[in-house]
Structure 1
């Protein structure tokens, strides 16, 4: 097998049994990454198993492109029953950096972990040698201290996954923290610790083979050449709030063998050489003092906020939602310092953040309620505080509450996922490039006409470019999902991929076939196979969600307010329309009958029953998924 290593490590912690599973039977239908992880979950985790049950399986899966040198192919999927989801159910995360590549160097495509160790342990993988090591001395340490000890013990090239105090105390939003400031959400840090597993450490000397190295090298050059796009290396919330001067990029922070620009970089904060470090994406912005009228707060508060959260291992998506809500509660008198034991009057300061994180991680006082997550905390809150919980807050992540009304395709996409779908949001960068052109044509060459050609190439029709209409959106949703699931399964980074647009190509339209070309160069497998694999991955996730209680078609509808409450955007609400001029979607509501027709068309394109959204028997049979039929027939 080119690209794949051929085996998946299987760890049974209760019995200390170590074995392997052949990758090929899974890879032929599900590629790797999220695809194989979802399939293994389907086979091993029944609906009655809870997140902290030893029988829950925690699955780490790389993709066939990882560690091959393919650009932007550094990611590893994480899947299992999520304690963060409400109610507990299947969910997935994704982690970058170096661990996934090192795991393949050690000879494994993934790790499946089940059971619970009798005492704290960590897993040490040294090429084909796999051992349980005593982690009693590591228990009680934060993520950074644990990492330092492990790297000192196993050498500088060792890559790790671990979790901090929040994971050990089963805080539902606890993350997995990995080498190179990488993290995975959905509460899998708590699942890991519930199994008495403090860390996984890996070192390897092997590497996957590549079917056509010369072709891969050529495609890598081409990828880098056409990847010139918007400069998003400084997070947008920082720049748009007028605080871009606090962040200076002083170096790249690329993941393994990646030469593409991204938002993971080395930054200098406040022009201070003593405040330099690698930071990534959203976690940089979850705690911005000026947002809470703290312009005088030292810059180190902004600098240290991601480190503090990662060390405790608390999800910054959850924290951002939580802190914003607490701020509103304090301003309106809906919660007091006496009720919470938190210095709410000091929100925006380091003092407040440290107190909040400590109380959540150790489940102290009001922090014990917050440790259950905002979705569950509702039941224990006074009505006045409960009323301020934002509709955009999801149990796992967040969403733009206006997106289904301002971009109709999201009315289909968003409800289909078990969590906030970051890849699907990132797939919209072409629209961001169009918006920049509307503001200043010198900033972006993506005109409405170019955007229309992008829609034709990537989303199936020029009609998909009119984001305010219902026409072409069912097909667009199918294509966007298929590409997103494929990239998650190949191990591709959703910030780098897909290359929907390019500043350096004459027509400025990206290459819709590039992922398939790279897949073939690495594996030797025809590129069209990934389309069939994408359909299978979508179906297996659909069947998991149905088995775990999803109601169809009701749960495929966006929230009711999208049909009843006119869109009230905070700023300009101009989107690409049917002509050259932008369309203003302020005041828009979804049309329920048009949405129903669009949903039925989407079901039909998927080969699902048009009334119920349940995959048809003939669809599953054609794709070789007959074993899913019993659930489909219920």
Structure 2
């Protein structure tokens, strides 16, 4: 059937470990990955639970298609109540540990409670045990992984936290061997549970309903996703042209052509300094555009398991002014958040900042935006001497030393300014009582690097994403930048209206990728029809494409219902205030987003979703999606109901 039909449950408070059956109804309705974690989170963590309480859960589920060599099928979802947003938490990672969790005989895992002392959860097939992590506490993520491999063996795959998680930073990610579950603060949840690490190995294989059919489909999609079909899916392989320079492939187009590269704390979408270096004969550093640095600094790729679209860029440099550097990245989001948005144009500085975040456990997007907010706050005279004197470097845009120093101190909660910023800039502005108007976030989470004044549909995509400002909930930027994607054509990126239907459809489609574990970089190739073929061979279900998309729609509505139950309102699906200001320069100089136009399109989106004007799902909508229990708890019957 493609499932073990069981989940592992671990209570860190009592030490109890048990295996629970998963019903066929549950499997059919949610399939795997984010479908499983969203339902488990909804059922087990209610409004009375603080994200850092022992009663919060860390739900872990490999995507349905993780394990049997499905091209790019590597993604595992962590589900939790987010310390950063206070609502729905979902973080997806191309992790080897998810593959091993399935091979150990589990479709999902739920961790609850809190240990009395630092603990490692060790899973070795049916042998599940809790062991002391006292010797690991205080180590960074790479040191922790090395120590676990030495203690248990190289066959174990890991998910670990660093000092930022131990200090309960609300932007702390989970490190999974060069891959990060980065958004929403899942590492803080682990830290609150005294769970330093998870180490997993499995020897049971992966159940598949129709093995020969899946094997043939794997060959087909390996060819489709590479253009050759001869890539070693478990090794490094050779990059196809669309990922030659990693996720920063279109850096120049985003920056100079479309003007959607956030710069100077989102005051502009154009980072001119990225190219000024090329015209300076006295400057020995190259542009942060990866076309100019990849050949010099990237000698290898370290892709996710089963990858056929290797975007990984392993950056290595010795004896730089920032010391030796070795890090997977920097990806585009890091190039923007720790580059243009803080006006640092030295790629070695950006890579070093990336390395610090990975080792210490900080999400690069939220960390970079916290620092850019602080730089603007300092520029405006809103920070006092206690804040400014707590770091040695001058806190000003373009100062790489300030960025690097602050990242280290944020992870270790050292000094007044670091303690203000370590939980994100939305929390910092609230604590300071100033600067909210230029704290760029939705639901307390910083957006990805797509400046909506250049692609206006992304303002709505950021606003309505259940986990906070996020580009991957919908990948609407692919349609906005290209004008055509899937069944949508001739989209005008400069219009606010007409985006609601596409946004809804793409959210449902992209949820399918998080449910199955297939990488969204194949979204223009596999689409729903291709994923459906793989799902049916794996499970034997014979779903129609419409039925598969309904699973995505059901899961998305459940994530929204979770936030509604937590007290989130229409005003939380907000337009970021800075976007109503005119862009300072670049291709979109003088462009802003009209708030009234945003509100009209938000109404259209709610209508497309079958939700009331308040953003609450209608009872009828939830019942049609077989969410009757959720409809009874949060649904409303009147479209005009608040």
Q: Same fold (TM over 0.5)?
A: yes
Match of 2:96 among 98, 120, 125: 98
Residues 1:361 and 2:411 are matched in the alignment: yes
The aligned residue for residue 446 of structure 2 is 397
Change (3 A) 1:472 1:380: closer
The aligned residue for residue 293 of structure 2 is 246
Hey, what's the Cα distance between the residues in 2 that align with 1:219 and 1:102?
Answer: 25
Q: CA deviation at 1:236?
A: 5.9
The aligned residue for residue 419 of structure 1 is 468
The aligned residue for residue 607 of structure 1 is 610
Q: Is the 8 A contact 1:287 1:302 kept in 2?
A: no
Change (3 A) 1:599 1:253: same
Residues 1:626 and 2:628 are matched in the alignment: yes
Hey, what's the Cα distance between the residues in 1 that align with 2:108 and 2:160?
Answer: 16
Hey, what's the Cα distance between the residues in 1 that align with 2:400 and 2:43?
Answer: 46
Q: CA deviation at 1:484?
A: 1.2
Match of 1:118 among 109, 116, 119: 116
Q: Is the 8 A contact 1:51 1:83 kept in 2?
A: yes
Q: CA deviation at 1:194?
A: 0.9
The aligned residue for residue 248 of structure 2 is 235
The aligned residue for residue 577 of structure 1 is none
RMSD: 3.3
The aligned residue for residue 558 of structure 1 is 575
The aligned residue for residue 447 of structure 1 is none
Q: CA deviation at 1:399?
A: 4.8
Q: Is the 8 A contact 2:442 2:574 kept in 1?
A: no
Residues 1:498 and 2:549 are matched in the alignment: no
Residues 1:30 and 2:46 are matched in the alignment: no
Residues 1:524 and 2:524 are matched in the alignment: no
The aligned residue for residue 54 of structure 1 is 54
Aligned length: 577
Residues 1:278 and 2:341 are matched in the alignment: no
Q: CA deviation at 1:428?
A: 2.5
Hey, what's the Cα distance between the residues in 1 that align with 2:458 and 2:401?
Answer: 42
Report SS of the residue matched to 2:522: coil
Q: Is the 8 A contact 1:56 1:81 kept in 2?
A: yes
The aligned residue for residue 13 of structure 1 is 12
Change (3 A) 1:230 1:15: closer
Q: CA deviation at 1:141?
A: 1.6
TM (normalized to structure 2)?
0.81
Hey, what's the Cα distance between the residues in 2 that align with 1:613 and 1:324?
Answer: 31
Hey, what's the Cα distance between the residues in 1 that align with 2:519 and 2:405?
Answer: 34
Match of 1:315 among 336, 345, 363: 363
Q: CA deviation at 1:183?
A: 3.5
Hey, what's the Cα distance between the residues in 2 that align with 1:365 and 1:415?
Answer: 35
Hey, what's the Cα distance between the residues in 2 that align with 1:59 and 1:259?
Answer: 28
Hey, what's the Cα distance between the residues in 1 that align with 2:573 and 2:400?
Answer: 41
Q: 127-136 or 243-252, which moves further after superposition?
A: 243-252
The aligned residue for residue 543 of structure 1 is 561
The aligned residue for residue 168 of structure 1 is 166
The aligned residue for residue 214 of structure 2 is 213
1:305-344 alignment to 2 at 5 Å? 305-335=353-383, 339-340=387-388, 341-344=390-393
Report SS of the residue matched to 1:131: strand
Change (3 A) 1:328 1:236: farther
Change (3 A) 1:317 1:237: farther
The aligned residue for residue 223 of structure 1 is 224
Q: CA deviation at 1:46?
A: 0.8
Q: Is the 8 A contact 1:74 1:97 kept in 2?
A: yes
* Contiguous gaps of at least 5 residues in structure 1: 435-450, 501-509, 574-584
Hey, what's the Cα distance between the residues in 1 that align with 2:119 and 2:218?
Answer: 41
Hey, what's the Cα distance between the residues in 2 that align with 1:223 and 1:287?
Answer: 33
Report SS of the residue matched to 2:438: coil
Deviations 1:577-607 (A, max 9, x none): xxxxxxxx96354373x65554444334333
Hey, what's the Cα distance between the residues in 2 that align with 1:548 and 1:293?
Answer: 37
Deviations 1:7-63 (A, max 9, x none): 221111111111123334422111211121111111111101001111111111111
The aligned residue for residue 583 of structure 2 is 568
Q: Is the 8 A contact 1:412 1:557 kept in 2?
A: no
Hey, what's the Cα distance between the residues in 2 that align with 1:260 and 1:67?
Answer: 17
Q: Is the 8 A contact 1:287 1:305 kept in 2?
A: no
